[in-house]
Amino acid sequence: MSGRVIPWVGAVAPVALLALVGLGGCSGASDSSESGGGDAAMAGAGSGGLPVSRGGGAGAVAVAGATPSLGGATNAGGSLNLGIGGSSGSSGAGGAGGAGGAAGTAACSAETREGKRVPLDMYFLVDSSRSMTEDVARGNKWELVSQALSDFLNAPRNAELGTGIGYFPNLVSTDCTAPADDCICIDSLNLCFSTGDRSCSVADYEKPAVPLALSANSAEIVADLASHVVDGGTPTRPAVEGALEYLNGWASQHPERKSVLVLTTDGEPTECDANTPEDVAATAAAALAGPYAIQTFVIGVGDSLDNLDLVAKAGGTERAFLVDTAGDVATAFADALDKIRGAATSCDFAIPTEGTAGQKIDPHQVNVRYAMKAGGSSTLVPQVFQNDPKNCGTADGWYFDNPSAPSLIRLCGSTCQALNGGSIAIEFGCDTVVQQPR
């Protein structure tokens, strides 16, 4: 997906050099205007010019020193204003945050609506191996971790999360069927039995103990944690692979939601074939590169768990959260959960397919603006070059989930992080401003 490439000129100052009419991204107040479909930008004092894109034959000029106003409500912390517009016929020279004066400059008129973040689903894959019963300060690891997770699930602030849980190892029964791992059969007695205490089968981990649900199910998960049997080894790779297979299936049925995996373990992988930290990392990387871009967050409980960073980085979350068992395990684990929830909170925003009057939204006429605080001055954020998230880099930007049939606007990492302290306005109806090739 690409719109017209409009270059950035000079540095963009924190205070945007635009005066806006409502949310019409092309309706700059100006001392002079351009008609007939050209684009223009005037350099601001000491700051360079700011590119302005416009569609529908609208003229637009950036004016140095004007303080913009995003028409309609803006909310700090992530709500969006969506403007859907065509062309209107009047704007003029404007003061701070407004426009007025002589008519005659064509402008985008906007229909404003509030956007919604894509809801978040967190699937917890919890290590319940024998080592989790080890005593640490204030209890044993399993008791402290399960209590902290229960408190997180019961917190009112997390009531809107979709949640589910699975465990590893999946303990096997004494009955088995050849040629399963660790299965010995005596043909003359028609008897098979297992010599292991855990399953290495990916299929066994595709079945959650408590499935994800669209309605609140925290009480069910908390009860399951309280009754779960803790024993066995650490077959991390098959467990992660199975959990991610489950999440991919869930995401395919609920593409309007964001799904993430939260892996908790107290040790490096043991037992089973292809079960090294590198194998687990490769599994996480495959899910991140898959159609639903599922991230894997990791919490390590104990010492010597630096290899878990491999898994976290491969899963798109940079590094693992490590809980020191010599300290307050419950508090540290709870803090890690809160940070993961904050990091996982979606920076995907649904866009409507049409306006209230039934007009189709042109994906070539979408622009995004970011304000450091509600009602404050805004900065134009360009679409990444060729709509490729690899071009995000460290700069602000955004891209569509599907260039041919977009349903979501996805913010690049730096823009997403900054959104916690500001607001976003998305404008429809003016030619898209796109990053220059790097």
Q: Which of 40, 20, 3, 5 is nearest to 107 (CA)?
A: 20
Determine the pLDDT at residue 107: 53
What's the whole-number mean pLDDT along residues 264-279? 93
What's the whole-number mean pLDDT along residues 89-114? 42
Determine the pLDDT at residue 3: 45
Q: What is the pLDDT of residues 418-433, one digit of tens each?
A: 776 567 778 888 889 9
For residue 179, cis peptide bond before it (omega within 30 degrees of 0): yes
Residue 307 pLDDT > 70: yes
Q: Which of 78-87, 119-128, 369-378 has the lowest mean pLDDT?
A: 78-87
Torsion angle of C-alpha atoms 178, 181, 184, 185, degrees rounded to 10? 0
What's the DSSP call for residue 385? G
The Cα–Cα gap between 21 and 99 comes to 6
Residue type, 405: A
Residue 53 pLDDT > 50: no
Q: Are 237 and 283 in contact (CB under 8 A)?
A: yes
| Beta strands 295-301; 258-265: pairing state | parallel
10 Å CB burial of residue 135 (0-12, 13-18, 19+) is exposed
Determine the pLDDT at residue 4: 41
Determine the pLDDT at residue 211: 98
CB atoms within 10 A of CB 274: 14
pLDDT-based confidence at residue 63 (cuts at 50, 70, 90): very low
Determine the pLDDT at residue 258: 92
What is the three-class DSSP state of 26?
Answer: coil
Q: Calculate ∠ Cα 74-77-78, nearest 5°.
A: 70
pLDDT-based confidence at residue 351 (cuts at 50, 70, 90): confident
Cβ neighbors of 408 (< 8 A, separation 6 or more) are: 118, 348, 349, 350, 351, 400, 401, 402
Q: Which of 148-152, 162-166, 412-416 has the lowest mean pLDDT?
A: 412-416
Identify the top-confidence range among 15-29, 55-69, 70-84, 357-371: 357-371
Residue 97 pLDDT > 50: no
Determine the pLDDT at residue 146: 97
Determine the pLDDT at residue 280: 98
The Cα–Cα gap between 44 and 9 comes to 10
What mean pLDDT is reported for the chain? Answer: 75
What's the whole-number mean pLDDT along residues 269-282? 94
The DSSP code sequence of 95-134 is -TT---S-----B--EEEEEE-BPPEEEEEEEE--GGGG-
Q: Which of 294, 234, 298 is nearest to 263 (CA)?
A: 298
What is the three-class DSSP state of 303?
Answer: coil
Residue type, 307: N
Q: Report all structural domains of the chain as residue ranges with CATH numbers, in order of start.
A: 43-114+348-428 (no CATH), 120-344 (3.40.50.410)
Determine the pLDDT at residue 113: 54
Determine the pLDDT at residue 429: 81
Residue 58 pLDDT > 50: no
What is the three-class DSSP state of 282?
Answer: helix
Residue 179: both structure tokens together: 């040629």
More confident residue, 362 or 424: 362
pLDDT-based confidence at residue 70 (cuts at 50, 70, 90): very low
Residue type, 291: P
Q: Are 348 and 118 in contact (CB under 8 A)?
A: yes
Determine the pLDDT at residue 413: 80
**CA distances, 134 to each of 218, 301, 332 (Å):** 26, 11, 17
Determine the pLDDT at residue 155: 95
At 306, give phi and psi (nearest 5°): -60, -25
Determine the pLDDT at residue 404: 85
**CA distances, 253 to each of 143, 212, 240, 247 (Å):** 34, 12, 20, 10
Determine the pLDDT at residue 28: 35
Q: Are 76 and 64 in contact (CB under 8 A)?
A: no
Residue 325 pLDDT > 60: yes
